[in-house]
Amino acid sequence: MCIAKSLQEFATVLRNLEDERIRMIENASDVLITPLEKFRKEQIGAAKEAKKKYDKETEKYCGILEKHLNLSSKKKESQLQEADSQVDLVRQHFYEVSLEYVFKVQEVQERKMFEFVEPLLAFLQGLFTFYHHGYELAKDFSDFKMQLTISIQNTRNRFEGTRSEVESLMKKMKENPLEHKTISPYTMEGYLYVQEKRHFGTSWVKHYCTYQRDSKQITMVPFDQKSGGKGGEDESVTLKSCTRRKTDSIEKRFCFDVEAVDRPGVITMQALSEEDRRLWMEAMDGREPVYNSNKDSQSEGTAQLDSIGFSIIRKCIHAVETRGINEQGLYRIVGVNSRVQKLLSVLMDPKTASETETDICAEWEIKTITSALKTYLRMLPGPLMMYQFQRSFIKAAKLENQESRVSEIHSLVHRLPEKNRQMLQLLMNHLANVANNHKQNLMTVANLGVVFGPTLLRPQEETVAAIMDIKFQNIVIEILIENHDKIFNTVPDMPLTNAQLHLSRKKSSDSKPPSCSERPLTLFHAMQSTEKQEQRNSIINSSLESVVSSNANSILNSSSSLQPNMNSSDPDLDVLKPTRPNSLTPFRKAKALYACKAEHDSELSFSAGTVFDSVHPSQEPGWLEGTLNGKTGLIPENYVEFL
């Protein structure tokens, strides 16, 4: 939409400058044609090459997978294992090529937002520079140019600020594909081969299947690999039961039987691997064959905050503190995944979990033990510090001074369930011991925060927005480690009075000007006719420096105090906001100096030049409460001038 609007504006200008444009067209190559040609060759060309590579690997992988699935289960075990290993290698390579292709397409999509419009803007700027004839037109164009410049710069800043994080996410997904599943409205979805009876026998037809646990609906869409699309009509059935197929009862591997309420007979399906079959059966609450009816009632492989869970963590901590507290890179260096899983299976076995707390053998490496501890915490149904408190912990980490952050986190920890708090206390005491030996193991409090922040405060969805909160997750863990004695061994203090809260908030706000998270940066220096316009440029150019420096100072050197209210009934657990003295009189009208995009529902989005219906003082220092088109929300105080 922004690009379309920009092109419309540019077209209007070009129509008025058509006569002069003919003489300047020779210079268009340097400022317009060359950047776009470079973008087409370097970016779009690279994406096309990545697509060719992806298509080639897709065809190769699907061919090998079909051959693999047609192997008879009666073949020798060594042959089957060799075939499984070969498919795993091809699958891994296909997974990596797929991620690289998606990453490149995403990069081109982001780049075109600024690398397509910006050359056009530069071309127009050149026209205004060389022709006095366009001076009057340039004055009319200046407001739109300023908005577009800010929009381009904000887009560029967002891209450059998140590109490395997105690339890091891609690498994490390559290393641990099972930990990064796509968020889907379905309980389970993927490709399955469905056995169909024909006149001449049976055949296995590839389907794309989805399952919704709430409605028990299974949808099967026939898939034609050659055409790459649907190969027939969809079919939906209601699940009645799901049972794993015995290996000796069918020649195919990875099979399970499904019975439907609204379809007679049994539907036999083949998954793509043993792990894939397990996931489908878990989603459908599948059963084992009859001969396995004496299976232990405890669900193996499920991490819980029970006696076994506490036993596992204590065993790992004891082993680390007695044998490896001084190992360099403790908790940062990961162990071999197969060894980690083997250790966890031993520790989580109910038969051995009741043994003494110190029975991890010396044969296990320290890096394997530390990785097992982190993996167990990630295997919990939810993060140790719980999804519903995550937003509140992040808010606490963003408070202006250190005492306020510690106090709010202190209060939040005591709102956690008892078992979560006990486990968190056990872990923080241990991490404090690790940090005390940082001269030997090189693991400072900050390093431990980086390691454990995403584990203890992991988001429900791994998005770019969640990535931007990682630094605040790390700050929360640092505060817990540095203040573990106070946080876990004392009861949170009573809330401060309104006067004390206001004084604390006022001291902090004096050193930090309010702003939206992304202040604009100018790309061009347009002529300004008044002193007020020069002041606008000064505010724009200095805003980012003030935000960065004030945030850094507030994190490292804060002295104000702010205590949370433990008895607050706010469902979002927000920090108490003191009432600001009404030192300002309400204003009937105000005009926006700069554009601002809202980051929260409580804020207003507006463009430069917007006239608000009314503006009043707000409870938040540095913010005003404005009304625009019937909607009321917060706006930065230094973004407006009053009429």
Of 558 and 138, which is predicted with more confidence?
Answer: 138
Taking only the tens place, the pLDDT of each residue in 392-427 is 999 999 988 899 999 999 999 999 999 999 999 999
Highest-pLDDT range among 49-53, 475-479, 507-511: 475-479
Taking only the tens place, the pLDDT of each residue in 332-355 is 999 998 889 989 988 887 766 655
Strand-pair partners of 258:
242, 267
What's the CA angle centered on 53, arms 47 and 58, to 5 degrees? Answer: 120
What is the structure's pLDDT at 353? 61
Q: Is the dihedral of CA 170, 174, 178, 181 positive or negative?
A: positive
Mean pLDDT along residues 357-386: 88
Mean pLDDT along residues 431-440: 95
Confidence of residue 538 (pLDDT cuts 50, 70, 90): very low
pTM of the model: 0.37
**Stretch (H or E) spanning 194:** strand 188-198
| Contact status, residue 515 vs residue 573, Cβ threshold 8 Å | no
The dotted CATH code for 187-284 is 2.30.29.30
What's the CA angle centered on 641, arms 639 and 643, to 5 degrees? Answer: 150
Highest-pLDDT range among 30-34, 97-101, 432-436, 465-469: 432-436
Position 166 pLDDT exceeds 90: no
Which positions ≥6 away from 310 have C-beta within 8 Å? 422, 423, 426
End-to-end CA distance of the chain: 31
Question: How many helices (H) and strands (E) in the chain?
Answer: 23, 13
Q: Residue 121 is encoded by which pair of tokens?
A: 């803007």
SS3 532: helix
What is the structure's pLDDT at 553? 38
What is the structure's pLDDT at 552? 35
Of 462 and 292, which is predicted with more confidence?
Answer: 462
What is the structure's pLDDT at 405? 92
**Mean pLDDT computed over every residue of the chain:** 78
Position 537 pLDDT exceeds 50: no
Mean pLDDT along residues 228-239: 81
Q: Which of 302, 234, 245 is nearest to 271 (CA)?
A: 245
Position 540 pLDDT exceeds 70: no
Confidence of residue 28 (pLDDT cuts 50, 70, 90): confident
| Contact status, residue 219 vs residue 230, Cβ threshold 8 Å | no
Position 134 pLDDT exceeds 70: yes
- Of the ranges 143-152, 573-582, 601-610, which one carries the lowest mean pLDDT score? 573-582
Q: Is 536 exposed, middle or buried (0-12, 13-18, 19+ CB in 10 A)?
A: middle
What is the structure's pLDDT at 352? 66
Beta pairing, strands 217-224 & 235-244:
antiparallel
Taking only the tens place, the pLDDT of each residue in 278-329 is 899 888 888 877 543 333 333 334 688 888 899 999 999 999 999 999 999 9
SS3 323: helix
What is the structure's pLDDT at 632? 85
CA 85, CA 71: separation in Å to the nearest integer?
Answer: 14
One-character DSSP codes across 559-624: -------TT---TT-PPP-PPPP--S--BS-EEESS-B--SSTTB--B-TTPEESEEEE-SSTTEE
Strand-pair partners of 642:
590
Position 494 pLDDT exceeds 60: no
Break the chain into its structural domains and give their ranges: 3-174, 187-284, 307-489, 590-642
| Contact status, residue 87 vs residue 70, Cβ threshold 8 Å | no
SS3 503: helix
| Contact status, residue 241 vs residue 259, Cβ threshold 8 Å | yes
- Of the ranges 55-59, 175-179, 565-569, 592-596, which one carries the lowest mean pLDDT score? 565-569
b or e along 132-150 (b: 16 or more beta carbons within 10 Å of the residue's beta carbon)? eebeebbeebbebbbbbbb
Which positions ≥6 away from 292 have C-beta within 8 Å? none
- Give the number of residues written for the chain: 643
Q: Residue 277 is encoded by which pair of tokens?
A: 């079959």
What is the structure's pLDDT at 182? 62
**Strand runs labelled E in 69-187:** none
What is the structure's pLDDT at 621? 66
What is the structure's pLDDT at 192? 94
| Contact status, residue 405 vs residue 564, Cβ threshold 8 Å | no
Q: Which of 125, 113, 120 is nearest to 153 (CA)?
A: 113
CATH class of 590-642: mainly beta
Position 635 pLDDT exceeds 80: yes
Architecture of domain 307-489: Orthogonal Bundle (1.10)
Mean pLDDT along residues 603-620: 81
Q: Which fold has domain 3-174?
A: Substrate Binding Domain Of Dnak; Chain:A; Domain 2 (1.20.1270)
Position 574 pLDDT exceeds 90: no
Of 577 and 60, which is predicted with more confidence?
Answer: 60
Which positions ≥6 away from 108 have C-beta within 8 Å? 43, 44, 46, 47
CA 83, CA 77: separation in Å to the nearest integer?
Answer: 10
Residue 31 DSSP code: I
What is the structure's pLDDT at 543? 38
Position 548 pLDDT exceeds 50: no
Of 561 and 280, which is predicted with more confidence?
Answer: 280
